[in-house]
Amino acid sequence: MRSVVSAAALAAPAVAQEQAPRVAPEDMRWVAPELAGHTDDVLFGEVWAGSDLSPRDRSLVTLSALIKGGHTGQLRGHLNRALDNGVQPAEIGAMITHLAFYAGWPNAVAALSEVRQVMEARGFAAADMQAPVLTDADRQRIIRRGSGAATAGAASNFTGAVQVTAPFSGAGGARVRGATVRFEAGARSAWHIHERGQTLVVTEGCGWTQREGGPIERICAGDVVMLAPGEKHWHGATASSSMTHVALSEGTGVDWLEHVTDAEYANGPADP
């Protein structure tokens, strides 16, 4: 689970700018503070934050450029960033192999030592650098309805009675994961953000969902809700009916934010 982002940081851009983590190295701040400012505010504050490419794709592009240019000094930081952005160890190994034919064998080989040090420091072994061998069980898996122990939604992330069942992750290394979530009447999630978006498939009952800045929308069995990457939102039951949905997302990147207040929730549409 990712760290919690405060509502104040999202509501006040000027404050968020001051509180954003600094990325520029200390040597840059000492020698060229203006360049450090551009690194923090423009490169990582604007370019990396752009929605036209996912953070994962930006990491792959950046690693490829660094290896092609022989810039191993910056590899370590970007390798860690790539792993945080969902790039898998085996994908990094495959990328280096591919680059050897296009960026030059010496450049690819020069990156290996840095990659190994980062991987070992993160607890990965040589076996993790290989693509998984799929068994018949990996090629198709069926998670039965209601399977596994039911767990209560964490009070830090939900209001009211919420039950999570049948959690799953994608077969064969696929990044999709999710679970079946049941909200009793009046229950809802806190505001949250999925860095790669979220899809909700309502299977029973009716509920409400809202993205920041938009109205509360009624959703019922058979409806599908698709949230874009980085879209702040919440979802849950209506005030008078329960709702069950299957929640799907790619990877594990979710920022849990503040709870939906009773006053916000009271703005939900009336039952037809």
pLDDT digits (tens, 9 = 90+) for 148-172: 788 999 999 999 999 999 888 776 6
Domain count for the chain, please give it: 2
| 253, pLDDT greater than 60 | yes
Residues 158 and 106 in one domain: no
Residues 25 and 100 in one domain: yes
Residues 124 and 220 in one domain: no
| 73, pLDDT greater than 50 | yes
Q: Which of 19-28, 186-195, 209-218 bottoms out in mean pLDDT, i.e. has the lowest?
A: 19-28
Mean pLDDT of the chain: 86
Residue 134 lies in a domain: no
What percent of the chain lies above the pLDDT cut of 70?
Answer: 90
Residue 106 lies in a domain: yes
Domain boundary among 81, 105, 129: 129
Rounded-to-integer distance, Cα 250 and Cα 24, Å: 29
Neighbours of 125 (CB within 10 A): 9
Domain extent at residue 53 = 10-129
Average pLDDT over residues 35-57: 87
Domain boundary among 70, 105, 129: 129
Residues 61 and 171 in one domain: no
| 133, pLDDT greater than 80 | no
DSSP state of 22: P
Q: What is the pTM of this model?
A: 0.62
Residues 6+ apart with CB under 8 A from 196: 54, 56, 86, 229, 249, 250, 251, 253
